[in-house]
Structure 1
């Protein structure tokens, strides 16, 4: 099998590093996979792919970046995504004699469907979620926005024609079954985490705290990700303030975000968290584990929306692998249900303000349990291990081989 693997982000995007690369590692393990070509969507004039071989020094992998037009309007860029790129991807398939397509995420799966129509080759969808509904629920798109209408139409076609779908959550697997997608074409594969890369490191904790000027016993929270869009913006800082009030004057906060560093620093000052007790930066993905070791618990302040029960958050997998209890928005992904009966954090609901304090007190209690980090890491090992996703690939791509095994 020779695979075209389609992502919808740039090569250096954190989501490519955190969610696509692990899938490529799994596919590379399969004996019947002869070659994989990764196609990325680059929004800048040139992509820095110089680190490709260093990032993934595998002989059966190659990178093919696709470039958006410079200075094009948003609408024209989106039109290009689903008109020009499928033609270019079909040409890549022919030139490299590829025979199978995998689209990552709902936009990547939409591209995979369009390429499949052009080439006649089967396609599969990984980390599949109802992206159009996410964007609608978050009020990023409106109901009559062309982007919403096109994405929703393409998601309908993916569900109808994909040879196999790997939903990101068990809840979405169940929903797809109710919508009529045959169960034999479905296998859940949530956002996984490298248990080799992420894990508590006492020396990294000591060194990182010392470098940041945080006390050895200070309670430290950490947040990975953006503000706004699918995530809370001002509301997230309200949650940070409540955590600071709950944990007391020694509380420190680490924010690792891809943009708006100075703005985030100013907003922390505005809620009473001074520079001496905070650290805000944009860092490379390989630097993240040390900061998670330095923290005691983590935030996942996702906007509440009905469709969010179908999400899978890679940041939660990374938090759990590092032994951190998570403060998570109620109703988000399978993780919310897991936290209802596992001591790996707590959930809150902004519609019930008192729930934030209750969740923080629950996390405080979890931090007092001896060996809590090792116990929470077991959640990542059980729920976010790559082994589950590997099995999904084996069963969908090579059902006859998987049945014999």
Structure 2
């Protein structure tokens, strides 16, 4: 006999569980929610180059939980054709699993896999959550990856799909309040159907600042103990313009001539490496590029003094919720960010001394003003961690999603 207090959720993610995002923004949540009488089946698309090396670690992490992982291979070798076959393979797996498991809810992380959730809802009546994770279609086209007139029909099609998911989903999840306002303003979904939860931080992984950890990393990287370090943690290239980071660093050098720039980047796209090498020759080798596994990122953050948040300011930034903001704070460092990224302006203004906003990234004086504000008027490391715990605690996300699931199931059972 079925335990009707237990909720069966099919979780679909284009990001792999062996990717850093899969570990920080999927597994970290689902492991906690699964202790609340929720049973998960995860279908994710894994990049072969990282899957092989991390598969065993993810399997070990999920062992003993009520989470079953079904990894499928990710490929974008043939662009749209690859995507088509990914979704075909995904649907076969999804339908096969549902016929055996009879899911209560399909939780779709981002737009492409929402195609599968939509089919599961329309064909089998499964409750459908469209967890949009930002404005994916606009991000892709604004990045230049899909530019030119030939792609306009594709853009229109994907946007129509997005609106179909808004209207069909039982619940829509936005990372930002500004994103929710945009959906409501256009009438794509009713306000009471949309929930907002920012990307959260796993505080078990992002440990508090310690002077000992700071010393270890600085010795490893050859950074003097008394040096000021500006850090950028994240991908480089595309929407993450290395030249804008250099602008901020050059302005910082005018305040603190011996400052270092630490680029903690697992993904470096295009000709960024060449740009870094060229810039480093003018910065007298004070630009350090390295990478770290997700579990070790906080060690490099605590070795730093100020964190950079960066996205190109285009339409899609209304949906951006930079995970690194909470991670920086949790590690005891304030932030500097261009104004206009998702809810970041509101968050920084709410938590005094936590960061500063660059009003105009193209204006050197604007950058200098923002740096002066945060370098000389920041709060202490303990206060920053408290800010992070208040706004970015992963337990907030756990409570949010558990309530979302139970609300959907309650309504379903009352109507049946």
Structure 1 length as normaliser, TM-score? 0.89
Q: Per-residue deviation at 1:138? A: 3.2
Match of 1:379 among 387, 398, 404: 387
Please state whether the residue corresponding to 1:393 is helix, strand or coil.
Answer: helix
Residue of structure 2 in register with 1:202 after alignment: 211
Q: Give the CA RMSD over aligned residues.
A: 2.6
1:66 aligns with 2:72: yes
Counterpart contact for 1:126–1:189, Cα < 8 Å: no
1:309 aligns with 2:318: yes
Residue of structure 2 in register with 1:165 after alignment: 172
Counterpart contact for 2:31–2:67, Cα < 8 Å: no
1:182 aligns with 2:190: yes
CA deviation map 1:247-273 (0-9, x unaligned): 212x12221111349546514414414
Counterpart contact for 1:395–1:402, Cα < 8 Å: no
1:192 aligns with 2:200: yes
1:50 aligns with 2:56: yes
Residue of structure 2 in register with 1:98 after alignment: 103
Bigger CA drift: 224-233 or 285-294?
224-233
Structure 2 gap segments, 5+ residues each: 1-6, 412-416
For this pair of structures, how many residues does the alignment match? 394
Residue of structure 2 in register with 1:77 after alignment: 82
Residue of structure 1 in register with 2:155 after alignment: 148
- For residues 327 and 273 of structure 1, the distance between their equivalents in structure 2, rounded to whole angstroms, comes to 23
CA deviation map 1:60-88 (0-9, x unaligned): 0111111246x841121122233442233
Structure 1 gap segments, 5+ residues each: none
1:128 aligns with 2:133: yes
Bigger CA drift: 110-119 or 318-327?
110-119
Residue of structure 2 in register with 1:89 after alignment: 94
5 Å-filtered alignment, 1:235-384, equals 235-249=244-258, 251-260=259-268, 263=274, 265-274=276-285, 277-341=286-350, 342-348=352-358, 349-367=360-378, 369=379, 372-384=380-392
Cα 1:108–1:344 change in 2 (3 A) is farther
Bigger CA drift: 336-345 or 317-326?
336-345
Counterpart contact for 1:221–1:296, Cα < 8 Å: yes
Cα 1:73–1:196 change in 2 (3 A) is same
Please state whether the residue corresponding to 2:106 is helix, strand or coil.
Answer: strand
- For residues 115 and 179 of structure 2, the distance between their equivalents in structure 1, rounded to whole angstroms, comes to 17
- For residues 296 and 402 of structure 1, the distance between their equivalents in structure 2, rounded to whole angstroms, comes to 48
Structure 2 length as normaliser, TM-score? 0.86
Cα 1:262–1:296 change in 2 (3 A) is same
Counterpart contact for 1:327–1:347, Cα < 8 Å: yes
CA deviation map 1:124-168 (0-9, x unaligned): 133532211223333333375265334322211110111112210
Counterpart contact for 2:18–2:50, Cα < 8 Å: no
Counterpart contact for 1:264–1:280, Cα < 8 Å: no
Cα 1:390–1:179 change in 2 (3 A) is farther
Cα 1:84–1:90 change in 2 (3 A) is same
Residue of structure 2 in register with 1:222 after alignment: 231
1:23 aligns with 2:13: no
- For residues 43 and 119 of structure 1, the distance between their equivalents in structure 2, rounded to whole angstroms, comes to 30
